[in-house]
């Protein structure tokens, strides 16, 4: 496998001593492009199950598109700075033709999980790194959507690492398949239309005194409201999205409003009114996660600890957390769940 990849690298004209992958997606184009990519829907889940482990091992996790362009690269800041020296950065083109033998590029070329250790890399400056990668496929087809990769030191060259990467890729495929199946099932059912004309699975819910005393699906603790006021001052209007975790203690992701694109596979579970803010904070959930949570009332709390590197509270040394209870019979009837 490695020998064949080296021959392809030679044929592509990759310089063994000096080749650096080109930047094919500049920052302004990258932001828009990856937001519209299919894998954007499952990236928070991929990061939660694999990215955190990579960071704990002083490695980076990367996700490419179907062409080998790095859409997301996540890790500790000092590891990311080292990765910059070989241009392993967001927007760079890491297919074999541009970067020589490497795990994401070779996994893309072979459509198979691949581990490339140190000296197996074609370009010499990359040989102090090891990497493990696996493809993610479109549900129901052999079409590659992108590659999930872990890149780091010698510890990456282990059966456990490639097993974790393969599991993350299969989890991403399963999540996309569930979203597609639930969206198809929802399309086959009669829908309710809110006052805005938007089709929904759930009735519109207004929160924290914004409109009514009706039962609520999601609420805030005072510490969470305080943190949202602080973060809004730093980032502007915010939103929550819950796409991973199916039990009490899961962490919703908090983004600048509109940064995470929602669509037919998401539900607006509620709008969280925060005293002192001009607009409520919408709380979205993927349809697949709603199937786990639909019989529960959720409360967004905040606790000490490291939040997701993709969520805006991460630098504050705290993380948002879900506390849940079963809905009462009256609430179940109100939300038409009986």
For 204-260, what is each residue's pLDDT tens digit? 333 343 444 678 899 999 999 999 999 999 999 999 998 754 444 567 889 999 888
Contact 191, 199 (CB under 8 A): yes
For the chain, the residue count is 338
Provide the pLDDT for residue 291. 78
Contact 240, 270 (CB under 8 A): no
Which residue has better confidence, 152 or 177? 152
Provide the pLDDT for residue 185. 64
| Sign of the CA dihedral with 304 first, then 308, 311, and 312 last | positive
Contact 50, 148 (CB under 8 A): yes
| Residue 282 pLDDT greater than 50, yes or no | yes
Please, which pLDDT band fits residue 174 given cuts at 50, 70 and 90? confident
| Residue 57 pLDDT greater than 50, yes or no | yes
Q: Classify 2-176 by CATH class.
A: alpha beta
Provide the pLDDT for residue 212. 46
Q: Of 76-80, 183-187, 250-254, where does the model show the most confidence? A: 76-80
State both tokens at 233.
């001052």
Provide the pLDDT for residue 287. 85
Q: What percent of the chain has pLDDT over 70?
A: 87
Q: Where do you find CATH 3.30.450.40 in the chain? A: 2-176
Which residue has better confidence, 185 or 289? 289
State both tokens at 20.
């650096």
Model confidence, pTM: 0.58
Whole-number Å distance between alpha carbons of 110 and 98? 16
Q: What is the mean pLDDT of residues 181-189?
A: 63
């Amino acid at each position: 496998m490695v020998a064949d990849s080296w021959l392809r690298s030679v044929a592509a004209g990759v310089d063994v001593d000096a080749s650096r992958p080109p930047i094919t997606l500049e920052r302004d184009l990258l932001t828009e492009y990856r937001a519209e990519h299919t894998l954007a829907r499952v990236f928070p889940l991929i990061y939660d199950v694999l990215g955190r482990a990579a960071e704990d091992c002083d490695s980076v996790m990367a996700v490419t598109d179907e062409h080998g362009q790095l859409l997301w690269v996540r890790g500790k800041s000092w590891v990311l700075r080292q990765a910059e020296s070989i241009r392993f950065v967001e927007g760079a083109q890491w297919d074999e033709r541009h970067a020589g033998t490497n795990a994401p590029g070779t996994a893309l070329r072979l459509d198979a999980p691949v581990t490339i250790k140190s000296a197996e890399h074609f370009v010499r400056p990359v040989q102090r790194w090891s990497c493990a990668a696996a493809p993610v496929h479109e549900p129901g087809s052999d079409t590659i959507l992108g590659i999930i990769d872990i890149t780091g030191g010698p510890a990456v060259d282990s059966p456990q690492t490639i097993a974790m990467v393969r599991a993350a890729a299969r989890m991403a495929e399963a999540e996309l398949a569930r979203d597609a199946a639930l969206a198809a099932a929802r399309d086959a059912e009669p829908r309710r239309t809110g006052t805005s004309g938007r089709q929904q699975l759930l009735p519109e819910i207004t929160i924290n005194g914004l409109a009514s005393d009706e039962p609520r699906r999601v609420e805030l603790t005072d510490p969470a409201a305080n943190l949202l006021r602080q973060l809004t001052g730093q980032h502007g209007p915010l939103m929550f999205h819950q796409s991973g975790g199916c039990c009490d203690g899961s962490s919703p992701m908090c983004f600048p409003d509109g940064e995470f694109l929602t669509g037919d596979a998401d539900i607006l579970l509620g709008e969280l009114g925060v005293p002192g803010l001009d607009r409520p904070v919408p709380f979205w959930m993927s349809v697949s996660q709603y199937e786990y949570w639909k019989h529960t009332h959720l409360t967004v709390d905040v606790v000490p600890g490291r939040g997701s590197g993709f969520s805006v509270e991460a630098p504050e040394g705290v993380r948002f957390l879900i506390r849940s209870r079963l809905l009462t019979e009256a609430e179940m009837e109100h939300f038409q769940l009986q």
